[in-house]
Amino acid sequence: MAPRKIIIDTDPGQDDAVAILLALASPEDLDVLGITAVAGNVPLDLTSKNARIVCELAGKVDVPVFAGCDRPLGRELVTAEHVHGKSGLDGPDLPDPEMPLQDGHAVDWIIDTVRREPAGSVTLCPLGPLTNIASALQKAPDIAERVAQIVLMGGAYFEVGNITPAAEFNIYVDPQAADIVFKSGIDIVVMPLDVTHKALVTQARNDAFRALGNAAGIAVAQMTDFFERFDKAKYGSAGAPLHDPCVTAYLIRPDLFTGRHINVEIETTSELTLGMTVADWWGVTDRPANAFFVGDLDADGFFTLLTERLARL
């Protein structure tokens, strides 16, 4: 079977970096057409730099990287240096990128690519705020029916919020963008905190990354050593939650994940619950299902896949 064509939209971010590495280490499964950076964990100048750092770490300097939106659709940018560090990739000491940013705006490249590739052949994989994706859908509504699927990290139901009591970071940063995406009619798979908080880098799993001995394995161990501090302090977690790699792993091994096809709506006005994903997990409304909302995973299977693939880089 031919590898699946994907566009990774991202705000690296240590967990984004691991998701990108997993994708680039899996050419038999995934054809990464390009990477589009968005403002999120850190400002756009850093996310677009970090995306290239990760491509070079993977030895894949031919992957085109584009800079996208530098702020959300309708509010000021909220960043997460308190989680990811000032650089967004704190932990390892990685060199500045030599590969260039591509000319042109990421949103235009997403539109052109989805229009150019056969209809139904491109999957969008947002790992950060949905600003670039929503902007592309607003600018070119015709692409909605051409996109094969959107597999995104964002939201929560049982886990509720990690940036406010009610909201997960990616959705909270740009609720208007999320509302556009979830109302687009595109086939959506959601990796919420409900599942990503079960993908924890325990010490044994971190040791396995480091034991790979290659640059990617050691860097991932160093990234997750840094990145785990926020969740250990807040939740008492056993290690760093690998939020974004759940997206890439799902594309490679969907059988590792379980969930429900339900209705998900986004709170876009209330100050108290702005950015909340109101997920009808229990089917108590007659609102139409619009997303496959993942609730659980085979964590050992996930980490076995991730570790095996990182060993290839």
Cα–Cα distance, 174 to 308 (Å, whole number): 35
- Partners of residue 51 on adjacent β-strands: none
Which residue of 4, 8, 9, 13 would you call a contact of Ca ion, by CB under 5 A? 13
Q: Which of the ranges 7-15, 179-187, 197-205, 295-303 carries the binding residues for ligand RIB, by CB under 6 A? A: 7-15
Q: Which of the ranges 25-33, 167-175, 203-211, 295-303 carries the binding residues for ligand RIB, by CB under 6 A? A: 167-175
Q: Does 128 contact ligand RIB by CB under 6 A?
A: yes
Cα–Cα distance, 5 to 98 (Å, whole number): 25
Which residue of 48, 113, 135, 162 would you call a contact of ligand RIB, by CB under 6 A? 162
CB of 244 to ligand RIB, least distance (A): 5
Which residue of 4, 6, 7, 15 would you call a contact of ligand RIB, by CB under 6 A? 15
Q: How many of the other CB atoms lie within 10 Å of CB of 138?
A: 12
Cα–Cα distance, 206 to 279 (Å, whole number): 32
Which residue of 65, 67, 127, 130 would you call a contact of Ca ion, by CB under 5 A? 127
Pairing of strands 122-126, 200-201: unpaired
Residue 191: phi and psi, rounded to 5, are: -105, 95
Q: What is the number of residues in the chain?
A: 313
CB of 285 to ligand RIB, least distance (A): 25
Q: Which of the ranges 168-176, 218-226, 251-259, 278-286 carries the binding residues for ligand RIB, by CB under 6 A? A: 168-176
Angle at 155 between CA 154 and CA 159, to 5 degrees: 125
User: For the stretch 190-207, what's the b/e string if a residue is b when 16 or more beta carbons lie within 10 angstroms of its beta carbon?
Assistant: bbbbbbbbbbbbeeebbe
Residue 168 binds which entry of Ca ion, ligand RIB, none, CB below 5-8 Å type-dependent? ligand RIB
Task: Print the binding letters for residues 189-228 with ligand RIB: x by CB under 6 A, - otherwise.
Answer: ----------------------------------------
For residues 40 and 217, which CB has a smaller minimum distance to ligand RIB in the complex? 40
Q: Catalytic annotation on 105? A: no
Question: Interface with ligand RIB by CB under 6 A: which residues?
Answer: 11, 13, 15-16, 40-41, 127-128, 153, 162, 168-170, 243-244
Active site residues: 243
